[in-house]
Chain A
Amino acid sequence: MCEKYLPLQPNKGELGYIPQSLGLVRHASVMHNVMLGANAGHKRFWTPFPSNTAKKHALDAIIAMGLETYQYNIIRKLSGGQQRRVATARTLAQQPRLILADEFLSELDDDTKEIVQSKVIEYIHKNKSALVVVEHDISRAKQMGDRILLIKDGKMKEINDSEEE
């Protein structure tokens, strides 16, 4: 699945990226950050007056991540977990065909982890997208992934769902 999408060019807004450091604009609001993703996904030039579709996608992503009460809060005033959810919302609002995520579930409590994971998986299935995720928790990786590549001692090997670490 991944091979099919990897030749995508990032400048087309079809590549979503959730870095471990999140890459959020710290002095801007949650809505501003998510709108950045929504505008990128709609290949629309950034304006202070975004399209209704972009706004709708941004708001949907914010609601999916349970951040509706914080949408006008400044990022640096949010907790680590909330910031991580904003980064995920930004990527979902972008509606990419491939998401690259680096431990996007860390710093979240167990309940929120489930919700965020299920929303991302739901998005992947609904939009026939692909997700490449770096995850230390193997059991969670198994829940999310069709293929799991384990890197151990500098060597990479593929493991099956049934296989124990």
Chain B
Amino acid sequence: MSLFQNYYRKVKLPFLLILLLILTWLIFSDLVDGDWGSLENSLDNLSVFFYESLWPPDWRVIEPQAYPVCTEHSPFEFKCSTAWIGMTETLKIAFVATIFGMVFSLPLSLLAARNLNPLWISYPVRIILAAFRSLPSIIWAILFVILIGFGPISGTLAMTFYTIGYLGKLQYESIEGISRDPLDAADAMGLNKIEKSIGVVIPESANNLISQLIFMFEYNVRHGTVIGIVGAGGIGYYINLYLKFLQYDKVIAYLIIIFFTVVIIDLISIYARSFFTEKENIRRPNWLEVFIPKFIIPKKNKKED
């Protein structure tokens, strides 16, 4: 029995958890540095801010803009609204960035996988991927806004760069997780590295790769709403605009739209990823269950055998 196990038996896990919480509180106190006064009126402030500035949301954001003149017919006039334009732009940016990111990250992750390449190849590529990942997408967005200017191109490039780093890491980890046996068999057959990658590695890890791609799209949609704040396109642009004019009721309307869009994409993503899971005994939700909680759906009467 190891020293840790002996020690653990004596002190028990709850004690360690309490210790951890006390330690966390001490660190927090150190951060606050005695300035607890700023927290005193926070709840009152929140209440005033919520009822006077945020609520009710100003749903004019889903009405057509005055200019340019809306050419859509009823009931599709909402397509001329800033909310629709911003949200669809965010979705487009996320989609393009995810696909572009995958196109670049897949070859890099094949090079970064230690089970396919020697360390002198894999480590430099890992460092490159880490460099892409080390800057959050909003910082990439600021950089591209400076280089290219405002608009969705900067946003797409920013998200693509971040996707390369993030997706690349997920991909090389799942590539490293594949079984050694097919690789040995491919080596014995005399397949070269490219043939091995296309014929063995990608099909063998395809389920994970597709699942990660869907996850990355969902992640990019969530983050795509933020990059607009620095002028890189998408719904964030409008949020930033109304924040500057202190029109918080419009901002909350945008946030509610983002929330529902993200939740829907999240649910679709869970459903889509369930097709690419390794375990076959997982029960896939049906479409109805994706949008409505299971307990609300009426049960079908099963015929007794």
> Which A residues contact B (CB, under 8 angstroms)?
9-17, 19, 21-28, 32, 36-37, 39-41, 45-46, 87, 90, 94, 100
Contacts and interface: CB of A to CB of B under 8 A. Distances in A.
Nearest to B184: A23
Contact of B199 (A9, A13, A25, A26): A25
A13 B181 contact: no
**Interface extent on B, as a size class?**
20 to 34
A25 B191 CA distance: 14
Contacts of A17: 184-185, 188-189
Interface in B173-224: 179, 181-192, 194-195, 198-200, 203-204, 206-207
Contact of B204 (A11, A19, A22, A26): A26
A25 B188 contact: no
B199 A46 contact: yes
A41 B186 CA distance: 12
Contact of B203 (A10, A27, A37): A27
Contacts of A45: 194-195
A5 to B, nearest CB: 14
B195 A46 contact: yes
A118 B183 CA distance: 28
Contacts, number: 78
A16 B184 contact: no
Given A17-B189, A23-B185, A40-B191, 13 more contacts: A11-B190, A15-B188, A16-B189, A17-B184, A25-B200, A27-B203, A27-B206, A27-B207, A28-B203, A39-B195, A40-B189, A46-B194, A100-B188
B110 to A, nearest CB: 14
A41 B183 CA distance: 17
Interface in B144-195: 179, 181-192, 194-195
B80 to A, nearest CB: 44
A40 B190 contact: yes
Contacts of B188: 10, 15-17, 19, 100
Contacts of A14: 190
8 contacts: A10-B187, A15-B189, A15-B190, A16-B189, A21-B179, A23-B185, A23-B186, A25-B203
Contacts of A94: 189
A16 B191 CA distance: 12
A26 B189 CA distance: 17
Contacts of A22: 181, 185
Contacts of A37: 189
Nearest to B182: A23
Contacts of A28: 203-204
Contacts of A19: 181, 184-185, 188
A46 B185 CA distance: 15
Contacts of A87: 185
Contacts of B198: 46
A12 B190 CA distance: 6
